[in-house]
C-alpha cells in the first residue's frame, strides 16, 4: 500500500512541476504579470467560485497591479484594474474587440444555425460586416429622439396601468421581487414587441425565468443538453413563439418599437433566416430585461428601507405633481413622467448608486492580434481582456472612504459634500463601443416606476419586521446586476383615499437621461 501511495504522490508531484513549468514557458516576459498560480490553471477558477462578484476587487487589493494575467485552461485573461488603462483599451476597439465574443454568443447561447453563424462570424471587425453594422441600424432607434420617446410613452403607460391595478388591490401583501420582476418584464417587452408581445403569454414568461439562470452554461459550452436541459427547452419554446410573432406581421403594428423594425431591417439586409432572427430576439430580450428587472427591485429596496432616502425622493417627486379637486370631491393628481428624468437629481443619483453598488458586469474584449497596450503590456492574440466594473466601483481612491456603503446622494453633483464621480470609472452601462445603447430607455422606465411607486404607496415588510438586504450568492453569473437569493414579503398600503385618480403623461422631448 505504501508503494502505491508513493507512486501516486510522485506522479502528482511530477504533474505539478510539469504544469508550473508549462505556465512559465508559455508566458512572455512582456505580458502582464501572472498571479494566482499556486494550483496551475485552477487557482483562478477556485477563487472566482469562492468570491464570486468580489473576486476582482479582492485581486486588486491583494496585488495592486494596473493589469495582470490569469491563466485558465486553454486561455489567458488579462484583467484591467487601472482606470487610466480603460480609455486605452476602449480606443483599440478593432484590435481588442467585443465582436467575436458576440458571434460566439449567437452560436453557443442562442443556438443559431450554421448559415447564421457564417453571416455573424464573417469579418466581425470589418466595416460592412453584420456585427459592425449593428450601430448603424440600432442606435437611431434607441438614441434620444422620436423613436425613443415612442418607446418611453408605451413603457410609462404600462407602468401607470400596472400601478393602477396595484392601487385597486391595496392594501395588499406581496413578494416584492416577484411582483417587480413580473411587472417590469411586461413593461419592457410590451415597449419592445408592441401590442402582440409574445411574453404576455404566462407560459412564455415562465420560460424566460427557466432560461435566464442557465445562460452562463450555454456561453461556456458546459454541455447544456445535460446540465441545462430544461433551460434548453425553454429557449426553444421562446424561439418558436417569437418566430410566429415575426411571421404574423406584428413588428409593423403602430405601437411596436422602431427598435424591432431596425433589427428586422438589419437581419433582412443580410438574408438572415427567420428562425435565426427569432433566436436573436431571445438574445435581445436578455438585453432589455437582464439589468432592468434586478435594478428596479434594488432601487425600491433602497428607497423603502431607508426613511431618509424615501422622504427625500418623495419630496422631490411631489414637486412635479399637480393636484386638483373636482366639485364632487374627487382628487386628481397629474404628473408628466418625462420631467422625472431631468428634475429629480436625488432619484437619479439613487439609480446610479444602484448600478455602482450592485453592478458586477464585466466587459470582455478578444485580442485580435498581438498588441502592446499603452506601449508597456504585451497582449497575445486569441486571449481575452476583461474589464470588471466592480473593480472600478469599489475603488476608494475614486469614490471615497464610504465606497462600501450605499450612498444615495453620491451622484448629486451640485452638493459640495459629495465627490463628483469619475465618468470613465462608472461602468453601470459598460463603456466605449460596448456602451449599452438601451441605457436611456432602461433608466427612464426604472426612474418612472420608482417615482410612481413612491408617490402612491407605503411599503414595509410584513409583521413589522425590519428591512434586511437579501444576499446574492446564488445569482446567475451572467447577471450584470445580481438578483436576490430570496424575496421580501411586504405590505403595500395606498397613500390617500382609494377614490383618488392619477393622470400620468409623457411629453416627447427628445431628451435622454444624464448618466
CA angle (297, 300, 303) in 5-degree steps: 150
- In the DSSP assignment, the letter for residue 215 is H
Main-chain phi, psi angles of 470, to 5 degrees = -65, 150
Main-chain phi, psi angles of 240, to 5 degrees = -65, -40
Q: Annotation-wise, does 436 bind a ligand?
A: yes
Q: How far apart are CA 306 and CA 351, in angstroms?
A: 14
Instruction: Specify the 3-state DSSP secondary structure of 155.
Output: helix
Place of cell 396601468: 161
Query: DSSP letters of 105-147?
Result: HHHHTT---HHHHHHHHSSTTSTTSTGGGHHHHHHHHHSTTHH
Place of cell 407560459: 203
Beta strands 331-336 and 501-505: pairing type?
parallel
DSSP H/E element including 178: helix 176-193
Cis previous bond, 171, omega within 30: yes
Any bridge partners for residue 77, and if so which? Answer: 70, 384
- For 356, how many CA atoms within 13 A lie in the half-sphere containing its CB? 30
Instruction: Specify the 3-state DSSP secondary structure of 337.
Output: helix
Q: Are 32 and 65 in contact (CB under 8 A)?
A: yes
Distant-in-sequence contacts of 136-141, Cβ < 8 A, 24+ apart: 137/262, 137/263, 137/265, 137/266, 138/259, 138/262, 138/263, 138/266, 138/437, 139/437, 140/258, 140/262, 141/257, 141/258, 141/259, 141/261, 141/262
Q: How far apart are CA 376 and CA 67, in angstroms?
A: 11
Annotated binding site: 436
Binding-site sequence positions for heme: 436
Amino acid at each position: 500500500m505504501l508503494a502505491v501511495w508513493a507512486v501516486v504522490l510522485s506522479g502528482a508531484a511530477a504533474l505539478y512541476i510539469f504544469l508550473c513549468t508549462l505556465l512559465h514557458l508559455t508566458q512572455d516576459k512582456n505580458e502582464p504579470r501572472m498571479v494566482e498560480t499556486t494550483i496551475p490553471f485552477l487557482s483562478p477558477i477556485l477563487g472566482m467560485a469562492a468570491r464570486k462578484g468580489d473576486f476582482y476587487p479582492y485581486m486588486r487589493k491583494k496585488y495592486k497591479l494596473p493589469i495582470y494575467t490569469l491563466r485558465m485552461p486553454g486561455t489567458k485573461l488579462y484583467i484591467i484594474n487601472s482606470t487610466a488603462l480603460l480609455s486605452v483599451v476602449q480606443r483599440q476597439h478593432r484590435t481588442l474587440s467585443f465582436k467575436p465574443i458576440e458571434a460566439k454568443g449567437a452560436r453557443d447561447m442562442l443556438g443559431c444555425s450554421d448559415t447564421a453563424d457564417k453571416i455573424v462570424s464573417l469579418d466581425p471587425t470589418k466595416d460592412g460586416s453584420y456585427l459592425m453594422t449593428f450601430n448603424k441600424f440600432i442606435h437611431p432607434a434607441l438614441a434620444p429622439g422620436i423613436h425613443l420617446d415612442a418607446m418611453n410613452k408605451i413603457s410609462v403607460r404600462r407602468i401607470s396601468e400596472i400601478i393602477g391595478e396595484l392601487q385597486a388591490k391595496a392594501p395588499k401583501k406581496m413578494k416584492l421581487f416577484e411582483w417587480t420582476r413580473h411587472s417590469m418584464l411586461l413593461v419592457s417587452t410590451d415597449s419592445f414587441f408592441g401590442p402582440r408581445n409574445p411574453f404576455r403569454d404566462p407560459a412564455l414568461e415562465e420560460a424566460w425565468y427557466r432560461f435566464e439562470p442557465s445562460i452562463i452554461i450555454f456561453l461556456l459550452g458546459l454541455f447544456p443538453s445535460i446540465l441545462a436541459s430544461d433551460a434548453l427547452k425553454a429557449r426553444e419554446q421562446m424561439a418558436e413563439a417569437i418566430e410566429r410573432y415575426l411571421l404574423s406581421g406584428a413588428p409593423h403594428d403602430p405601437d411596436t418599437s422602431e427598435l424591432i423594425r431596425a433589427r428586422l431591417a438589419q437581419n433582412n439586409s443580410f438574408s438572415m433566416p427567420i428562425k435565426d432572427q427569432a433566436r436573436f430576439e431571445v438574445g435581445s430580450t436578455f438585453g432589455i430585461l437582464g439589468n432592468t428587472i434586478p435594478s428596479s427591485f434594488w432601487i425600491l429596496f433602497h428607497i423603502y428601507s431607508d426613511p431618509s432616502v424615501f422622504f427625500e425622493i418623495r419630496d422631490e417627486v411631489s414637486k412635479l405633481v399637480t393636484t386638483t379637486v373636482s366639485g364632487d370631491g374627487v382628487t386628481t393628481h397629474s404628473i408628466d413622467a418625462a420631467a422625472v428624468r431631468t428634475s429629480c437629481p436625488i432619484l437619479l443619483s439613487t439609480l446610479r448608486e444602484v448600478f455602482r453598488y450592485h453592478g458586477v458586469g464585466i466587459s470582455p474584449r478578444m485580442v485580435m492580434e498581438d498588441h502592446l497596450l499603452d506601449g508597456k503590456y504585451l497582449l497575445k492574440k486569441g486571449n481575452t481582456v476583461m474589464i470588471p466594473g466592480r473593480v472600478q466601483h469599489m475603488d476608494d481612491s475614486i469614490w471615497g472612504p464610504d465606497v462600501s456603503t450605499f450612498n444615495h446622494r453620491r451622484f448629486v453633483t451640485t452638493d459640495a459634500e459629495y465627490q463628483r464621480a469619475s465618468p470613465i470609472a462608472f461602468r453601470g452601462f459598460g463603456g466605449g463601443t460596448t456602451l449599452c445603447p438601451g441605457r436611456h430607455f432602461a433608466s427612464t422606465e426604472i426612474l418612472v416606476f420608482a417615482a410612481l411607486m413612491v408617490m402612491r404607496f407605503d411599503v414595509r415588510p410584513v409583521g413589522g419586521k425590519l428591512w434586511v438586504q437579501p444576499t446574492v450568492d446564488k445569482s446567475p453569473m451572467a447577471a450584470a446586476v445580481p438578483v436576490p437569493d430570496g424575496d421580501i414579503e411586504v405590505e403595500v398600503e395606498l397613500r390617500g383615499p382609494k377614490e383618488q385618480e392619477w393622470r400620468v403623461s409623457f411629453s416627447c422631448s427628445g431628451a435622454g437621461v444624464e448618466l
